[in-house]
């Protein structure tokens, strides 16, 4: 069975600080995908990144960066120079190649609520 753990329930940082959101996953598959989604107060889930299990190259997109390490089953997300608009709940998610019963569901972690204080 697949599982995603986001140990940090809530984090508060002061604007312009860097912050890292942790994500640890469990899966028996060798082929899987990892995702990060942002959920602002408005409610919709906004896709941030998808990473497949064969690509361990780190990725940077503006102030966002992701560190994927298969050896530790982690897919951590760092926001550099945080801004108030970054305040949201961030979900890490895992999708295996096939989840059974005809579904390819995303297994979400419980989310990390990030508050950026001006």
**Which region among 19-27, 71-79, 80-88, 99-107 touches other proteins (by CB under 8 A)?**
99-107
Residues 51-70 that bind other proteins (CB under 8 A): 52
Burial of 73 (0-12, 13-18, 19+ CB in 10 A): middle
The contact mask relative to other proteins for 7-46 (x = CB under 8 A, - = no) is: ------------------------xxx---x----xxxxx
Burial of 15 (0-12, 13-18, 19+ CB in 10 A): middle
CB closer to other proteins out of 43 and 62 = 43
- CB of 11 or CB of 106, closer to other proteins: 106
Measured CA to CA in angstroms, residue 8 lies from 1, 31, 105 at distances of 22, 26, 23
């Amino acid at each position: 069975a697949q599982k995603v753990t986001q140990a940090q329930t809530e984090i508060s940082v002061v604007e312009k600080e860097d912050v890292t959101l942790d994500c640890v996953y469990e899966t028996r598959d060798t082929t899987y995908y990892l995702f990060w989604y942002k959920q602002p107060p408005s409610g919709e889930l906004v896709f941030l990144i998808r990473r497949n299990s064969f690509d361990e190259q780190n990725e940077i997109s503006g102030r966002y960066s992701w560190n994927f390490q298969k050896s530790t089953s982690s897919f951590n997300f760092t926001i550099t120079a945080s801004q108030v608009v970054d305040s949201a709940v961030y979900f890490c998610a895992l999708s295996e190649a096939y989840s059974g019963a005809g579904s390819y569901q995303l297994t979400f972690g419980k989310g990390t609520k990030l508050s950026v204080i001006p």
